[in-house]
């Protein structure tokens, strides 16, 4: 039994004494101990070495009174497992020498055996669970099929993902084939994570907001929903679509346990769109962690009051930025833990 199950109770919509708190990218580059490891090992070495991934996952747990841990990994391990050879380039980010731009390339991609290709992630889960010792739940995650496609077709990060969008609109058959292959791989991957012991899974649709509402339904949501349908049979599922407030009403009708929201929507509108039928997670602007600890505390308490303490998970509206002072991250977390109605 997990000793602190506040996060899991919030996912079920139960009455809680306070909202649980964790931060997207909490195991990451704002922590001095993370930077120490980063200076010794390259990015994918850290992801692919179970001992390093487990250590990085628990680093913030040692420092802060968090209510959940999230496994250190990356969304690009899924396309890597599918034979799409992503690298992490210094000061560039994700990089693919040969982006997927043709039907022939898509046809050549296979849905892999996740045990063969992603075993290092499952080993990292086992090591992390030993370190956590049933204190708090562990979250597993994956990128949405659309977000993965964006990187596969663009070949790198982008502000608008124009090439990826053009590919979908000019080669819809190939695009849907690629999206389905990513979806099938992701379902197998997340199911295995649950079997290995994660308590919940989160789907990150980082680039869903690049699409119009109609295109979002066609190229993103229908594939996310396939994952939700399958995974909800074995685990709570959280869906976070950055910039996807327009889809909240539709998402709230799914079998997801919670929906993440970014800072571009008010708590009141997010509740209105979802008819208060589902747990919401978010939505503190990560850049606001540059404010003083006193201002952060005040804003966090106001955020909780506006969302309401139940059916709510306190979090950022996206991942924590690398240049945030550790004491400001701590102020955010402690503000939630110390909140009183």
On whether 27 is known to bind a ligand per the annotation, the reply is yes
Helices 119-132 & 50-63 angle (0-180, nearest 10): 30
| Phi, psi of 139, deg, nearest 5 | -100, 135
Number of Cβ atoms within 10 Å of the Cβ of 224? 27
Q: How many residues does the chain have?
A: 341
Question: Is 151 one of the annotated binding-site residues?
Answer: yes
d(CA 53, CA 336): 27
Phi, psi of 336 (to 5 degrees): -70, -45
Check the annotation: does 142 bind a ligand: no
- Residue 112: partners with Cβ closer than 8 Å, 6 or more residues away: 81, 82, 83, 118, 185
Question: Do the annotations mark residue 206 as ligand-binding?
Answer: yes
Strand ranges in 75-136 using DSSP code E only, listed in sequence order: 87-89, 93-95
Catalytic residues: 25, 29, 38, 74, 151
C-alpha atoms less than 13 angstroms from C-alpha of 204 in its C-beta half-sphere: 19
Q: Is 301 annotated as a binding residue?
A: no
Q: Is 208 annotated as a binding residue?
A: no
* 68 labeled part of a ligand binding site: no
83 is an annotated ligand-binding site residue: no
Answer yes or no: is 166 a known binding residue.
no
Which residues are known binding-site members?
A: 25-29, 44, 74, 151, 206, 318
Which residues are known binding-site members for substrate?
A: 25-29, 44, 74, 151, 206, 318
């Amino acid at each position: 039994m997990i000793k602190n199950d506040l996060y899991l109770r919030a996912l079920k919509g139960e009455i809680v004494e306070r909202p649980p708190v964790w931060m997207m990218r909490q195991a990451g580059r704002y922590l001095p101990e993370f930077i120490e490891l980063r200076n010794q090992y390259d990015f994918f070495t850290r992801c692919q070495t179970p001992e390093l991934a487990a250590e990085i996952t628990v680093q913030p747990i040692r420092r802060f009174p968090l209510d959940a841990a999230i496994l250190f990994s990356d969304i690009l391990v899924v396309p890597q497992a599918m034979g799409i050879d992503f690298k992490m380039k210094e000061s560039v980010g994700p990089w693919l020498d040969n982006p997927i731009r043709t039907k022939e390339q898509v046809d050549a991609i296979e849905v892999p055996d996740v045990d063969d290709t992603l075993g290092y992630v499952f080993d990292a889960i086992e090591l992390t669970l030993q370190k956590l010792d049933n204190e708090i739940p562990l979250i597993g995650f994956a990128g949405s099929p659309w977000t993965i496609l964006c990187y596969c077709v663009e070949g790198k990060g982008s502000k608008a993902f124009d090439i990826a969008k053009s590919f979908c609109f000019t080669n819809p058959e190939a695009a849907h084939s690629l999206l389905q292959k990513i979806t099938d791989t992701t379902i197998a991957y997340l199911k295995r994570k649950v079997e290995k012991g994660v308590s919940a899974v989160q789907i990150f649709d980082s680039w869903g907001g690049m699409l119009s509402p109609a295109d979002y339904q066609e190229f993103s949501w229908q594939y996310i929903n396939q994952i939700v349908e399958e995974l909800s049979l074995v685990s709570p599922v959280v869906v976070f679509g950055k910039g996807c407030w327009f889809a909240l009403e539709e998402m709230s009708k799914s079998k997801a346990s919670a929906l993440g929201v970014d800072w571009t929507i008010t708590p009141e509108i997010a509740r209105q769109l979802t008819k208060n039928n589902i747990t919401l997670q978010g939505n503190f602007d990560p850049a606001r962690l540059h404010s003083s600890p006193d201002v952060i505390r005040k804003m966090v308490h106001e955020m909780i009051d506006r969302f309401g303490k139940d059916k709510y998970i306190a979090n950022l509206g996206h991942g924590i930025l690398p240049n945030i002072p550790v004491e400001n991250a701590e102020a955010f977390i402690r503000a939630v833990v110390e909140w009183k109605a």
